[in-house]
Each structure stands twice: as C-alpha cells, then as structure tokens.
Amino acid sequence: MKTKLLPIVLVLMAQAFFAQGAKKPILMLFPEDSWCTRNGFMEKDGNGEDQCNYTRAFKESDELNLVMSKIGEIFTDRTDGKFNIRAFAQNQKIQSKTNARAGMESKDGAQIKTSAVNDLVSGQSNFDLGIYVNFYFAKEGPKNSLKFDFNAKDNYTGEQVASSPDLVGKSTYSSDILSMVAETINNKVDPFFNQIENYFSDMAENGRKAQFVFGLFNDMKEDFETEINGQTLDNHIEDWFSSNAVKGKYNLTESSEVMLNFEEVRIPVFDANGRAVSADIFARGIKKTFEAAPYNFKVTVKRTGMGKTSIYFSKK
C-alpha cells in the first residue's frame, strides 16, 4: 500500500488546484547536467555556454531511455495520475506531430529551423515543472547499486521547488536496470512529490509567479515619470497590478524613467475558461488598458518565457 504523507488540508488544497483546469499539470523529465557531463552530452550553445543536448542524449543512450521511461511509470503510479509526466524525448515526438499538423514540415520531412532545446531550457515550452534526474551505478565488488538525485524547477520562474538527493538502492548481483530503478525509488519518492504538491497548493491559493519588464521605444516623448491625470505613469501601472494580480501581490524591484521591473507578480493559474495563463497572456490586460484613454499608447507585448514578458510603450 502506498504511504500518503500529506496532511489532509494540503491534499484538499492540491485537489483544488487540479480541479481548476481541464488539463493536468505537465512535469517534464530531463537528465541533469552532471549526468550529461559524465556521458558526453554537454555542448556549447550559441552563446558559448555549456548546455546538455537532450535530443542527442535520448537518441544515443538506450540506458537513459529505459531509466526515464521507468521513472515516468513509477511517478505516475505514486501520484495517482494527478500529473501528466513525460520525458523530453516523448515531448519531442509530440511536438514533431504538432509541427506536421501545423504545416511546419515540408513534404520530404524538412522542418522550419527552431531552437527547440534552447526554448525548453529557457522556459518557452509549455510545461509546468522540469524534473532533472541524475543517476549513476556504484560498484561494490560483484554487486551493483543505483543512486538517484531529483530536482524539480518551475518552468515559469526557474525556481527550484523540490529536491530529493541521494536516493540509494540496495546492493544487488542483478544487472536488470528496470528492477533496480523500481527498487531504488518506488517507496522513497513520496516526500519529493509532497514538496511538489505543496508548491501547487500555494499556487492554487496565491497564483503563479511571473515577471514583467517594462521599457520604452525611442519615439516616446513621455517616460514612466510623466504625470497623467494627477499621477505618474509608473504609479498607474502599479495600480493596475494591485487591482489585477492575485491578491494584489507583486514586487517592483527596479524603477527608473525608462524601465520598470515587476517580479513575483502572482497571476492566475487558469483563466475563466480553464486555460493555462502564461505571463504574456496575463499581459494582454495591460495592453488593453494602456492602449485606451486616457493613456492612448501603443503597447507591444513580447514573450521571453512562460513566466516572463517584456512590455514596450510607444507612440500610437
């Protein structure tokens, strides 16, 4: 029997979150950077920074595919199917089919150039949490044991929300990878998902965190300290967040004549129709307000991540 460690109140709050929308939260499984480094899958990206090539890792490592598939199966079972849990490789197949349906592939299968890996890592792809998995085998004479580290990060903010380091399996003479994975994590992963459900419970009550950065185009004569109807433009923007953020929660961390940075803005998880709300979708309300009287600006919303949006004011 599975051990349920969550307090009843926390369980009910989590259930309230899952009841808000038609879709289950998506948890995406990735190999952790240390695994990619040990196995030769770290590469330089366009900015010269080290990044794991997930596509190549799943294509070339049968071991990774076996382990991730088994982890997804166990995680789904341990969480009673509350989450849509998939590995990066599964998501790539889904995206490929989506691209084909959307006309993003030619008849011979060539695709429009995209930066799918970078988009996933930078929070452009639509999943809720990334679960980063590090695993390795330890030899003890003729016996083997399997060790795991799990870390969960919010795809909207990059914030680490759960961790479960140093899960160690029993030493065994067996070399059956799937049975070793099951033995190592099956009865030890509940506390990890308790942390995740706790995070989603907070989201259900207080909204999801997002960041909004405001700037000005060069054709703007006004700036954020220009007075409109008796108060400065930046105060009007703060008033908008106070009225529209969940429970009025936001943090203005930087402010100048030409730039505003709002962090930890709590936005709804779902809209009135049960659809997930990203930062750029939430920003549509800002665009509508400040393009109308008495402001009459042109407002450009640029999505820079699921949880981050840049908003530029210019002359109409």
Same domain, 193 and 229: no
First to last CA, the chain: 64
pLDDT at residue 229, as a whole number: 95
Average pLDDT over residues 72-77: 92
State pLDDT tens for residues 254-281.
Answer: 999 999 999 999 999 988 888 889 999 9
Are residues 124 and 45 part of one domain? yes
Q: What is the pLDDT of residue 280?
A: 94
Residue 23 has what pLDDT? 66
Identify whether residues 48 and 153 lie together within a single domain.
Answer: yes
- Calculate the dihedral angle through the C-alpha atoms of 5, 7, 12, 18, rounding to the nearest 10 degrees: -40
Question: What is the C-alpha to C-alpha distance for residues 169 and 235, in angstroms, rounded to an integer?
Answer: 56
User: Do 253 and 278 share a domain, yes or no?
Assistant: yes
Domain end marker among 185, 204, 223: 204
What integer pLDDT is reported at residue 124 of this predicted model?
56
Contacts of 44 (CB under 8 A, 6+ apart): 50, 51
In a shared domain, residues 232 and 260: yes
What percentage of the chain carries pLDDT values higher than 70? 81
Q: pLDDT tens for residues 49-61? A: 899 999 999 999 9
pLDDT tens, residue by residue, 283-310: 999 999 999 999 999 999 999 888 999 9
Mutual angle of helices 190-206 and 8-20, in 10-degree steps: 60
Is residue 139 predicted with pLDDT exceeding 60? Answer: yes
Shared domain check, 243 and 141: no
* 21 plus 134 within the same structural domain: yes
More confident residue, 220 or 12: 220
**2 within a domain of the structure (yes/no):** no
Amino acid at 121: V
Beta bridge partner(s), residue 252: 262
pLDDT tens, residue by residue, 189-202: 899 999 999 999 99
Looking at the structure, tell me whether residues 31 and 86 fall in a common domain: yes
Whether residue 1 lies inside any domain: the answer is no
- Pair 127, 244 in one domain: no
Residue range(s) defining the domain that contains residue 80: 8-204
Q: Are residues 219 and 199 in the same domain?
A: no
Q: What was the pLDDT predicted at 272?
A: 85
Is residue 97 scored above 80 in pLDDT? Answer: no
Number of structural domains in the chain: 2
pLDDT of residue 119 exceeding 60, the answer is: no
pTM, rounded to two decimals: 0.79
CA distance 72 to 27: 10
Of 159, 189, 204, which residue constitutes the final position of a domain? 204
Average pLDDT, the chain: 83
Q: What φ, ψ does residue 153 adopt, rounded to 5°?
A: -125, 140
